Each structure stands twice: as structure tokens, then as C-alpha cells.
Structure 1
Amino acid sequence: MTTSLSGDRRHHDALAPASVRDIGRCIRSLPSFPGAGWWLLTAAVFVLNLGSMTGSSTLLGRSVDLISGLAVPGFGSGRDGFTSLLVAVGILMFLELITRPAAAYLIFSATRRLTVDLRRRCLAATLEAPIPDVLELGTGNVMTRLTKDIDTAYRAVQSIGTRFIVTTLMFPFTFVALTLISPWYLLLLILLPAIFAVPVKRTLNGLPAATNALSTAQARRNNMLLDTIRGMPTIRAFGVRAWATERLERNSWDAVQREADRIPLFLRLIGTGYLAYGLLLASAIAMSTHLVTQDMLTTGEASAAVVLVVRLEMHVFNVLVFTGEIQNALTALGRAVSLALLSDNAVDAPVPGDCTGCPEVRIENVGFRYPGGAPIIDDLSLTLEPGTMTALVGASGAGKSTLAGLIAGLQRPATGTISIDGTDTSTVPDTWTARQVALISQEVHLFSGTLREDLRMATPDADDATLTAALSRVGLAPDSAGWQRWLPDGLDTRIGAGNDDLAPEIEQQISLARIVLIDPPVLIMDEATSEAGSDNARSLEQAALAVARGRTSLVVAHRLDQAVVADRIILMDRGAVVEDGSHQELLAADGRYANLHARWSGPRDGN
């Protein structure tokens, strides 16, 4: 398999398009891939179509012999022969007309089913793939592959698929017909491809890179657009609309430039096509004239050869233009297939049983950096004791969220190991890690539907009493103000996209209720209560603490009052542990944490 994640997302796509071989392997494995009967029927239709085209062209040329008074084998001579020949030409043209839409129907119907299966395979692979791989791709990139790239391939088949097959087969059928007229035409069919093979191949070799660069630029633009829309409240609050617009404009122009880079390649193909066809036609006329003057061909046979070459004109340009479009479609299809194969990167190893009780989380010599950047974490080692709550504090950029993401399996450490209950997480599928470790961040996603349906995502067989108990544990009891204000229909309240927005603290309480239902042995809260207003912060923090009890918990603290209740506090700076101990121990040490706590608590004491 050729799908691989690259290192530098600034200049390259994070996931290279699949090879033609992998594309074929993936398409053949789809449930709707046509069987032998479809292939035989389609081949028969195309052979009938191409045979009719070349046959009618040959007969039209041979009509010159009948006009000249000569006989044509199978038709005789004179008026009767000419009439019979015209009838045969009409029958062949009729067959050509009816077989073309029949072939198109066979191709389109099969392609439509394949695109549905491929989209389903891509979505399943995204859900099953290692989380770091999906995050590295980015939401916009995944969406581009799931939608635009598959649609690009389908539209190419829909618009030029049948014509491309006809064009491709037209050349061998024409060459056979010319050879049957006279073997001398083989010289043209050998010399011309030899002359133009190198420039055409050189141009075609540049198309895949140019096409993938365009798709990558478009995916980057989509990522930026999604990021801008999601960050709209922050953009407005900080008054940085000009910056957001300039950033999006820069990425949009990059996509436009990548499109412009492809244009010279297509112009070169068209120019080569004009030259190649001009030489072919001139050479065919010259050779036909020579063969007639040497009495090696009749005038009708020479005319048939020229008609066959003339009918190639459209196909010569089709094959050049279509080649570019097919290459574009293949690149787009390769991008989609590489997504469909992404789950192949998942660890294939025996899956241990789930942790029982509160496990130990051990981080040993872990290092991490983003591509092209300085180390975020360097040789970090620490252990989260079973059943304890550890708080991470420190300035923005200290590496707190990065460490939380590494433990949760959202990123892979560059060096070192992370083990849960003695199991190295790099040796097991991330689905196992996800069952052991639950991560709650300040970004909460509620699925569109009823509250009951959302909560049952965590425990499908839970009854209403269990769901209500989970909500009550996090402060959303049926008699609470939050329930009365935001959940008027109780578990039947519709939430998520397309419904009324809930308050941030209500959304977080729902996410905490999911944790109660899942009951993971390890819980990580990455500033999970930071979005709550001051009036609701205390109740939400108490709910979070209630959920954290009885688990091995890690809290990325946004405020120090989230840290003081922890069993252990770790102060991080530049990816390293600066201070480590309980709240009282760190205050007694009178170090950086003590100074930080003094500044935080001072205004509360009126000092």
C-alpha cells in the first residue's frame, strides 16, 4: 500500500494519493464491483459500436470504386451494388447510434453504485483509522476527499467515460482496418507514436504532481474556511477580521495559482495533438496517393484509408484532452482511495482486555514536536498514580494540552512510551486507548437529535432512569434550574445542529453525563470548564470533580481553583516539569507555584 503521511503539512499533502494499483485493488473490493456478466455485456456493446464506426467509414470510402465502375467484394458493382452499400452503411450507423447510449448506461449505473460504496468505505476508514492520522489530515482535507474528490472522479466518468473508452479503442480498430487495406500503413502507425511518445510522456508525467498540488491547496483553503467559521466569535471579540480575511484570501489565491500551474501542461498537450494529427493526415494522403499511382490500391481503397484517418481527428484531440481529465480524476480518486485505506495504518495486534479499576498511567522519556517546529515536550517522564487526580498548570504553550492529547492518543510521541495499566499504547489499536481514556475539552459536540439519542451514543441500551441519573450526577437533575431553563422537554429536548443553542455549561454537563455513562478508567479534562461564565463555573467544576472521582484523572487547569482540590499539582514550562507536589507542598516550597497562587488569591482576600 502506498498511502503514507508526510512530514511537512505546509508544503505537501498529509496523505499522498493512492497508486493506480491500490486504486484498482480498492475498487475491486467494493461490494458493488460488477461481475463477469456485466464485463462481457459491456465489452460486446463497445465492440459492436467500434466495429460499426470503422465499418461505415471503410464502406463510405469504397463507394468511390462503385462510382468509378469497379466492383466491391460483397456488393458487386453498378447501381445495385451502390444501393446495397448505402444500406449497409445506414445499418452500421444505426448500430453506432444505439450502442453508444447503451454503453453509457452500463458505465454510469455501475459507477454510481461504486461511488456510494467508496464513500461508505472512506467514512468507515476515517472512523476506524488512528486518531493522529485523521487529525493530521484536518477536517477540511477529509471532507474534500469524501465529497469533492469522489464527485470529481464520478463527473469525469459521467462526462467523458464512454467517449474516452470509444476514443481509446478507436485507435486499434482503425489501425487494424488500415492494415487490412494495405500493410504499408503500418509504417505510419509505427513512426508517428515513436516521434511523439517522449514529449507526450514528459507532459503527462507532470500532471499528477500539478493535480495533487491543486487538490492539496483546495483542502488547505477548506481547512482555513472551516477554522474561520468556527472561530468567528473569537475573531469578532479580538477585532481581527482583516487578519482572518487576509489569511483566507492568501490560501484562496494559492489554490488559484495551483490551477494556473496546470494550464501550460494542457496547452502543451493540445499543441502536440495538432502537430501529431497534421503529420498523420498529410502522411496518409501522401502514402495513399503513392499507392494508387503504383496500382497497389484502388481509388476507393485509398479513399477509405483517408476517411478512416479523418475520423481520427476528433479522437486524437479527445485522447489528449481526456488524458488530462482522466489524470485529474485518477488523482482525485487516488486521494479518496488513500482515505479509504487509511485504517490500514491501524495497529494490527492482539487487543488486551479493558482495565479493571483505576489504572496507572506512566509517561516515560516522552518527546514531541510538530513538523518543522521546536520541541513541545522533551524527555518528559512522570506517573499518574491509580485513582488520583493530577492537575497540570502553567502558561499557555507550556505543553499541557499536548501532553493531554498524547495520553489520550490524539498524537503519537516522537520518542518514549506511554503505558496504561502496563500496556504500551503504541502497541495496541487506538480504539483500545479510546475505551480506557476519555478526553473532555472546552469544545463540545452535540449530535443532532434528542437528548436521549445523544446520551445513548455512550450507552445504547441505557434506559431513561439511567440517563436521568447520569444527568443528575453532573448537576442537571429534573428539578434543577438548568434542566427547567434549557431542557423543557426533558430527554425529548432536541439538541445539536438545527436546534436552539444551549448554554456552554449545559453542553459541558451533557458531555460529563456521557462520561458517567461510559465510565472510563482514565479521565482527562483539558480546560473543560473554561467556557462557563462566572456564575456557573463553580457548579460546573463541582460536577467535573464528581465525575473525576474514582478514576485516574488529569486536569489541565484553566484556573487555580481547579488545581487546589487535586491530589497532585504539576507546574509545566516549555514542555518540562518545573514543580511537582500537592497544593500544600508547593505552597511550602515557596516557588513559582506559590507566587502564582499568591497573585491569583490576592484580589480575593482584598489585598
Structure 2
Amino acid sequence: MADVLPVADRARVRRAALGELRADRRAFIGVLVLNALAAAAGLAGPRLLGAIVDTVKDAPGRAALASVDRLALAIAACTVLQILLSRQALRAGARFGERTAARIRERFLDRTLALPAATVERVPTGDLAARGTTDVTAVAVTLRDAVPEVLVSCVQVLFVVGAVVLLDPLLGLCGSAGMAVMGVALRWYLRRARAAYLAEGGANSALAEELSATAAGARTVEALGLQARRVAKAETAIEEARRTRLRTLRLRTVLFPAVDVSYTLPVVCVLLAGGALHQRGAVSLGTVIASAIYLRQLAGPLDNLLLWVEHLQGSAASYARVEGLAMVPAAGPPTTAVPAGGRIEVTDVRYAYGHGGDVLHGVDLDVRPGERLAVVGPSGAGKSTLGRLLAGVDRPRSGAVTVGGVPVADLAPDELRRQVVLVTQEHHVFHGTLRDNLLIAAPAAADTELRAALAAVDAAWADDLPDGLDTALGAGAHSLGGAQAQQLALARVVLADPHTLVLDEATALLDPTTARSTERALAGVLRGRTVIAIAHRLQTAHDADRVAVMDRGVVTELGTHHDLVAAGGAYAALWRSWHGTADAPRTSAQGARPV
């Protein structure tokens, strides 16, 4: 069963968001100041308009026209100033958001690369991909766009309400009471939104996992006639994604109508109360009009604010999923100890995948430097699991796997690569040039070393590439076949130059002719090194110095090929089954001498 990546709680997300603000506090304070100034400039218009009304009402005639002209000119000047300040505020906010979004993307990439290899292999690929694309993008957009917009709207709302209260406290109280509907609706929405958006994000990840798994295994699905089953699973995932999406939509159908009503109620309350107070001479007509215009101006920032509040719920769920990577247990700091020699010792090792039962049961093994050891046994015996432990990919549940007296899994990545390298049937061609793909194993290697590594694995095709080492590989560029990609992976091994290689059927995907030439080339390159070959072809065992036979997670036999055949045990039965009764090397391509 696949592991599930954790999701951060509210407190962790809050700390992460505050940390982003502190990381660029000067820019953040600048955005606040600019927004405050822009909002203050916008407050002058309604107040001056109220003054125009009172001037015309109380002093009709030519004298009033001069005052109206001056007040109108002041309104125009304040409007221009507000536009300029708002533009600068949005620009500063956007720059702040872009820098913050870049930090989040870089940190997510760093955390992903720092995940233990075993964790990456066991978590759903779709979940990790969705967090790195959809969720990171949602957080980045929020920090780039939502933060400036929310700041502008919050400052405008506070200033407008404050302006109404300063004009007349009673009218301000009436306007605030009219906004109570919005507060109740928002509280109802926020109590339900986070869980709903987290469920929607999880459903989208599950859907992405189903689609990617089906696309990756399309040939297998077609060959085994599994189309109906895969379609059914995809439809189930789609239905769950649709159900969670509808849940968040239903929340919005309650919030938005309540918000629309709350825009009108404050204005109505102020007009009713202001009319009554004006009749009694308690307030001027200009004050009532200015207060109504102020509250009407709330529609824009409140609408913008609540739209972003709705968006922030989805973004908060995305942020929780992004920050969840920080909660994955770390492998611990690498040891600074340097292995004393290349002797590999496996002592009473037990290992289990996840929460399942042990697949290795007290394995003991001692591999001498320069030895060629073949590990054989039936499928499911634990051979590949042992290979992963020997290469430091996984850590034993109990017992120890050491190289030169130092636990393999505790070595720093660079030191581990110098000690032990695992080569499997799986390989990857990274998007970039051929040179980039090779420099992964040896960043300081010169071009002559890169070409020598390719020649060592008989990758003659590299000389025919249109741009040589600068030929772009990967999607949308030059495509390598399975055999060529495998040779590229083996060339990386040559460049890494480890003293021990763990080969888990590393040449299995090569065609017979290419396999023979590659194995002959590697035999020369790896002479004098320790080679642990996890083999399904028993010819590998025939040519090894010693053979370890595994069955049901334990080493049942250990010795040379001839000694084990003479002993008449499990290995002898395997040999007779694979080779017949003749104890001689095969001459077919399948029996080509391996490394």
C-alpha cells in the first residue's frame, strides 16, 4: 500500500506564511504604507462631495459656484493621487508576491529532492506531482495577487468605516449593524471551507494518480484487456473529484448571496437613520450623503476581499499540502565517518515495507573487497530488497549494513556514491543535453572523460548524435531507445567510479548483441572492484566468486558455484532446472559472461 504524504496543520501553515512576510519585511511594510496612502486619498472624494451639497444648499448663488469649483478641483486632484498611489501599491505588492512565490517553489524543490528515496518510491506519484504543480501554483498566485489585493481591500474597508464614524458616530453604528449579515455568513463559511478544500485537493491528487498510472501502463492495460477496469477506476476517481468540487461550490452559493445582501443593507440603514436625524437637525444633508457614498464604496473592496477569502480557503489547503513535505521524517544528518576499506557486512538484518511483515529475516552476509558475489533465488525471495539495503537506498528495521565499518544508509550522498552504486533495470533520461545527463554522476568531469565513459559501455551511437555531447535529450528533443538509455545509465556508473557495484539485472533491457558488448566492456572497467550481481540468469552465478542463495527472506546457501552444485541443495536444483544436467556455460546470448 502506498504511503500518504502528510498535510500541515493550521499552526504550521500560519508560521510558514508569517515567515514569508518576515523574509521580505521591508517590501511588505512598503506595500502597507502605499495602500494606506491610496486609501486615505480615496476618502477625500465623498467628504468633499458632501461639502458641495451643503454649500449649494446653504449658500445658493454665484458665491457658491466658486466654492463648488474649488471642491471639485480638489476631488479631481485626490482621485489622480489615489490612482498613482494604487498603481505603485499594486506594483510593489506584485514584486513582493513574485519574490515570495519564487522562494516557495525553490523550497518545495529542495524538500522534494531531500526526501528519502524510499519515501519517493512509495508515495503516490500523482499526489507528489499535484503538490508540485497545482498546489505550488495556487500558493504562488495567492502570494502574488491575493496578498496585495487583500491588503488594499482591508485598508479601504477600515478607512471607509472609520470615515463614516468620524462623520457621525450614530450613522457609523447603523452602517456597521447592516454589515452583520456578512459577518454571520463569513463565519459559517470559514468553519466548513478548510476541510472541504482539503478533501477537494486530495480527490484531485487521487485522480491525477489514476490517470498517470493508466497512461504509464497503457501498453500493459491494452495487452491484458484491462481497459474496462481502468476506466471504472478512473470514473470512480472523477466522481469523487466532482463530489468534492460540488461541496465547495455549495458553500459559495450560501456565502455570495449573503454578501450581496450585506452590500445594500448598510446603505439602507444609513439613509433611513440619516433621514430621520436630518429632519431633527442632528446631521446635515451633506453628512448623510457622504456617509451613504462611503458605505456604497464598500461594495468594491468587500466584494474583492470576499472573493479572495474564498480563494484563500483553497490556497490555504494547497499551502497545507505544500508545507506537508516538511513533516516527512528526515533520514537524519549524514555521518562524517569515513569507511575504512571496502568490506561490506550484513549483520542480522530484518526489513519490512511500510507496516507489513518482514521480508528479510535475519540476513547475515560478508562481502570481501574485489569479490564478485551473485545473489540468486526465486522471485519474491528478497534479492532486490537486499540490494537496496546494500546500496543505502533503504535502512534496515533492525541489524546493520556497513561498508568499512560505517552504516551505508548514514553516508552522505557524495560519499555513498563513491562507495556503493545500485544499477537496476530502471533508468531515466533527464531533460537536457547528453553532457548534462552524464555530469550528474561526475560534475567536474571533462569532455574526454565523458566520451571515455560512453566508449566503456560501447555506446557508439553517441558519436552519431547531431550535436554530440550538446545534443538535447528528453521530451520534445532527441529520443533514446531503451538500450541506449540503459547504456547511458551504465556510463554514469563508470563516471561515478565506486568501489562496489550492486547490479540488479542492469543489462536486462539490452538486446542480446548489445548486452554482450556492454558486459564485455564493463568487465574490463570493473576489474578489481566489488560486484554484487542480483541475478535471474544462473550463468551469472556460474562465473561469480561466490553465490548467495536466498529464499523467503533468508540466505539459505553460500559458497562457490561448484561447491553448491556438489552439495545437492536448493542451488543445485535451480541449476539443473535452468541448465539441465550438463554443468557447462551456455553459448547463447542469454548466457553471455556478465560482470
TM over 0.5: yes
- Secondary structure at the residue paired with 1:207? helix
Within 1, Cα distance between the matches of 2:482 and 2:205?
Answer: 30
Taking the TM superposition and a 5 Å limit, the aligned residue runs for 1:309-458 are 309-336=295-322, 339=325, 341=326, 345=330, 347-348=332-333, 350-353=335-338, 355=339, 357-370=341-354, 374-375=356-357, 377-387=359-369, 388-425=371-408, 427=410, 429-430=412-413, 432-447=415-430, 451-458=434-441
Partner of 1:21: 15
Within 1, Cα distance between the matches of 2:5 and 2:553?
Answer: 28
Within 2, Cα distance between the matches of 1:185 and 1:546?
Answer: 92
Taking the TM superposition and a 5 Å limit, the aligned residue runs for 1:233-248 are 233-248=219-234
Within 1, Cα distance between the matches of 2:112 and 2:511?
Answer: 35
Bigger drift between 528-537 and 565-574 goes to 565-574
Q: Is the 8 A contact 1:409 1:434 kept in 2?
A: no
What is the Cα deviation at residue 177 of structure 1? 0.7
The one-letter code of the counterpart of 1:184 is L
Taking the TM superposition and a 5 Å limit, the aligned residue runs for 1:172-571 are 172-185=158-171, 187-188=173-174, 197=183, 200-336=186-322, 339=325, 341=326, 345=330, 347-348=332-333, 350-353=335-338, 355=339, 357-370=341-354, 374-375=356-357, 377-387=359-369, 388-425=371-408, 427=410, 429-430=412-413, 432-447=415-430, 451-474=434-457, 476=458, 483=460, 487-488=463-464, 492=468, 494=471, 496-497=473-474, 498-543=476-521, 549-571=527-549
- Secondary structure at the residue paired with 1:458? coil
Render the CA deviation track for 1:2-22: whole Å, top value 9, x for unaligned: xxxxxx857x54454751212
What is the Cα deviation at residue 531 of structure 1? 1.1
Within 1, Cα distance between the matches of 2:509 and 2:528?
Answer: 25
What is the Cα deviation at residue 267 of structure 1? 2.1
Are the structure 2 counterparts of residues 507 and 318 from structure 1 closer, same or farther at C-alpha, using a change threshold of 3 Å?
A: closer
Q: Is the 8 A contact 1:358 1:550 kept in 2?
A: no
What is the Cα deviation at residue 366 of structure 1? 2.3
Bigger drift between 297-306 and 419-428 goes to 419-428
Q: Is the 8 A contact 2:393 2:409 kept in 1?
A: no
The one-letter code of the counterpart of 2:384 is S
Render the CA deviation track for 1:53-96: whole Å, top value 9, x for unaligned: 2221233344432343269xxxx983333333222222222223
Within 1, Cα distance between the matches of 2:259 and 2:184?
Answer: 13
| TM-score w.r.t. length of structure 2 | 0.83
Within 1, Cα distance between the matches of 2:413 and 2:439?
Answer: 22
Q: Is the 8 A contact 1:54 1:177 kept in 2?
A: yes
Q: Is the 8 A contact 1:347 1:429 kept in 2?
A: no
Within 2, Cα distance between the matches of 1:431 and 1:247?
Answer: 42
- Indicate the percent of aligned positions where both proteins have the same amino acid: 27
2:82 pairs, out of 90, 96, 101, with 96
The one-letter code of the counterpart of 2:359 is I
Within 2, Cα distance between the matches of 1:415 and 1:286?
Answer: 78
Partner of 1:5: none
Q: Is the 8 A contact 1:376 1:399 kept in 2?
A: no
Render the CA deviation track for 1:404-429: whole Å, top value 9, x for unaligned: 33443434444554333322355554
1:164 pairs, out of 139, 150, 161, with 150
Q: Is the 8 A contact 2:54 2:285 kept in 1?
A: yes
Q: Is the 8 A contact 2:28 2:96 kept in 1?
A: no
1:594 pairs, out of 565, 568, 572, with 572
Within 1, Cα distance between the matches of 2:329 and 2:571?
Answer: 45
Q: Is the 8 A contact 2:8 2:327 kept in 1?
A: no
Partner of 1:55: 44
Within 2, Cα distance between the matches of 1:426 and 1:208?
Answer: 39
Q: Is the 8 A contact 1:384 1:390 kept in 2?
A: no
Within 1, Cα distance between the matches of 2:235 and 2:116?
Answer: 32
Within 2, Cα distance between the matches of 1:293 and 1:432?
Answer: 87
- Secondary structure at the residue paired with 2:203? helix
What is the Cα deviation at residue 323 of structure 1? 0.2
Are the structure 2 counterparts of residues 364 and 538 from structure 1 closer, same or farther at C-alpha, using a change threshold of 3 Å?
A: same
1:79 pairs, out of 56, 62, 65, with 65
Q: Is the 8 A contact 1:217 1:254 kept in 2?
A: yes
Q: Is the 8 A contact 1:57 1:307 kept in 2?
A: yes
The one-letter code of the counterpart of 1:377 is V
- Secondary structure at the residue paired with 1:524? strand
Partner of 2:562: 584
Within 2, Cα distance between the matches of 1:521 and 1:452?
Answer: 24
**Where do 5+ consecutive residues of structure 1 fail to align?**
1-7, 477-481
Render the CA deviation track for 1:359-403: whole Å, top value 9, x for unaligned: 3232534221235xx325254332242323333334444433333
Q: Is the 8 A contact 1:455 1:514 kept in 2?
A: yes
Within 1, Cα distance between the matches of 2:165 and 2:110?
Answer: 52
Within 1, Cα distance between the matches of 2:375 and 2:535?
Answer: 6
Within 2, Cα distance between the matches of 1:253 and 1:565?
Answer: 56
Are the structure 2 counterparts of residues 349 and 599 from structure 1 closer, same or farther at C-alpha, using a change threshold of 3 Å?
A: closer
- Secondary structure at the residue paired with 2:187? helix
Within 1, Cα distance between the matches of 2:63 and 2:329?
Answer: 68
Are the structure 2 counterparts of residues 445 and 401 from structure 1 closer, same or farther at C-alpha, using a change threshold of 3 Å?
A: same
Q: Is the 8 A contact 1:389 1:548 kept in 2?
A: no
Are the structure 2 counterparts of residues 568 and 376 from structure 1 closer, same or farther at C-alpha, using a change threshold of 3 Å?
A: farther
Render the CA deviation track for 1:37-65: whole Å, top value 9, x for unaligned: x4454334312221122221233344432
- Secondary structure at the residue paired with 1:345? coil
What is the Cα deviation at residue 557 of structure 1? 1.7
Q: Is the 8 A contact 1:211 1:331 kept in 2?
A: yes
Within 2, Cα distance between the matches of 1:9 and 1:149?
Answer: 20
Within 2, Cα distance between the matches of 1:147 and 1:118?
Answer: 12
- Secondary structure at the residue paired with 1:442? coil
Partner of 1:3: none
Are the structure 2 counterparts of residues 579 and 204 from structure 1 closer, same or farther at C-alpha, using a change threshold of 3 Å?
A: farther
| TM-score w.r.t. length of structure 1 | 0.81
What is the Cα deviation at residue 545 of structure 1? 5.2
The one-letter code of the counterpart of 1:520 is P
Q: Count residues with an aligned counterpart.
A: 578
The one-letter code of the counterpart of 2:533 is V
Within 2, Cα distance between the matches of 1:229 and 1:223?
Answer: 10
Render the CA deviation track for 1:83-139: whole Å, top value 9, x for unaligned: 332222222222233333222222223323443344334334433443334444555
Q: Is the 8 A contact 1:580 1:586 kept in 2?
A: yes
Within 2, Cα distance between the matches of 1:152 and 1:346?
Answer: 29
The one-letter code of the counterpart of 1:518 is A
- Secondary structure at the residue paired with 1:558? coil
Within 2, Cα distance between the matches of 1:407 and 1:192?
Answer: 70
Cα RMSD after superposing both structures? 3.8
Partner of 1:479: none
Bigger drift between 312-321 and 541-550 goes to 541-550
Taking the TM superposition and a 5 Å limit, the aligned residue runs for 1:140-151 are 140-151=126-137
